[in-house]
Amino acid sequence: MLDHSISPRRMVGTLLSYRGLIGRLLVREFSAKYRGSIMGVLWAVVTPLVMALVFLFVFGVVFQSRWGVEQAQKATFTVTLLIGMVVHGIFSEALSRSPTIVLGNPSFVKKVVFPLEILPIVAVLNALVTASIGLAIVVIVHFAMSGTFSPTLPLLPLVLLPYLLAVLGLVYFLSSVGVYLRDLMQLTGLITMASMFMTPIFYPITAVPEPYRTVLYLNPVTFAVEQARGVALYGEPPDWQGLAIFTLAGAALAWLGYAWFQKTRKGFADVL
């Protein structure tokens, strides 16, 4: 019988104890996503590029969105837009899959010895792999256009870590609720679409009136996008105080989601 403990130590131990199984499931899911297609894994490169071109035309040409002069000197509108889309894509892909993570694996639920708590981790890591390809494209395009790499680029994983923890917490919660509430899939679709426009992806945060900026910063994707742009494109160090607060909040959200998942998992088999 598996340990259904909700302790933070158990949560971290899950990642370490089952890292081999997590890796195998990650490879299986990533391969299955493109299995049978002619272009295969190339779709992971083509998709973000095509999406970026479409939004670049709409917001850069039609609406003529621009960043501030200082930012424009450090990075083009293209890479500024693209990195925002890639970082948001982690949130979007992970959340859109979360309602079916448990529902789509009934055979795992019925296996008493299978650690169901690793399924949300695999989903978030899968989204991270896709995003990593997109981030590599951003870095290459930025170098091609500017001729330099950002000196603070190595800090990007540090900036994204608390963001991944926050996303993991949400996925834990939604993957559990999705077992009992089948309408959740439609709701997460609305959330991911709304979050794209409630995040400064297509416009600078400075373009938002001051009273409404606080609302945007309540969206965890906003801080991640702003910090990722700063270290990957502008050569700016992270907001260390904000990053520390975000890390604590992300870790707390990850544990709360994990605890909820562990407490509610006993009823999964009955519902399925």
Q: What whole-number distance in Å separates Cα of residue 271 and Cα of residue 106?
A: 10
Q: What whole-number distance in Å separates Cα of residue 152 and Cα of residue 73?
A: 17
Lowest mean pLDDT among 7-11, 79-83, 85-89: 7-11
pLDDT at 67: 65
Q: What mean pLDDT do residues 31-60 have? A: 73
Q: 10 Å Cβ neighbour count for 178?
A: 22
Q: What mean pLDDT do residues 64-89 have? A: 73
Q: What whole-number distance in Å separates Cα of residue 250 and Cα of residue 216?
A: 17
Is the pLDDT at 58 greater than 80? The verdict is no
Is the pLDDT at 33 greater than 90? The verdict is no
pLDDT at 69: 47
pLDDT in tens, 238-259: 999 999 999 999 999 999 999 9
193: part of which helix (H) or strand (E)? helix 184-197
Q: What whole-number distance in Å separates Cα of residue 34 and Cα of residue 44?
A: 9
Q: What burial letters (b/e) apply to 115-140, b meaning 16+ CB within 10 Å?
A: bbbbbbbbbbbbbbebbeebbebbbe
Q: What mean pLDDT do residues 160-189 have? A: 93
Q: What whole-number distance in Å separates Cα of residue 14 and Cα of residue 8?
A: 10
Amino acid, res. 81: L
- Per-position DSSP letters for 129-181, written without gaps between them: HHHHHHHHHHHHHHHHHHS---TTGGGHHHHHHHHHHHHHHHHHHHHHHHHH-
Q: What whole-number distance in Å separates Cα of residue 227 and Cα of residue 242?
A: 10
Domains of the chain, by residue range, sit at 8-265
Considering the entire predicted model, what is its pTM? 0.88
Is the pLDDT at 263 greater than 50? The verdict is yes
Residues 6+ apart with CB under 8 A from 37: 43
Q: What burial letters (b/e) apply to 229-258, b meaning 16+ CB within 10 Å?
A: bbbbbbebebeeeebeebbebbbebbbebb
pLDDT at 59: 66
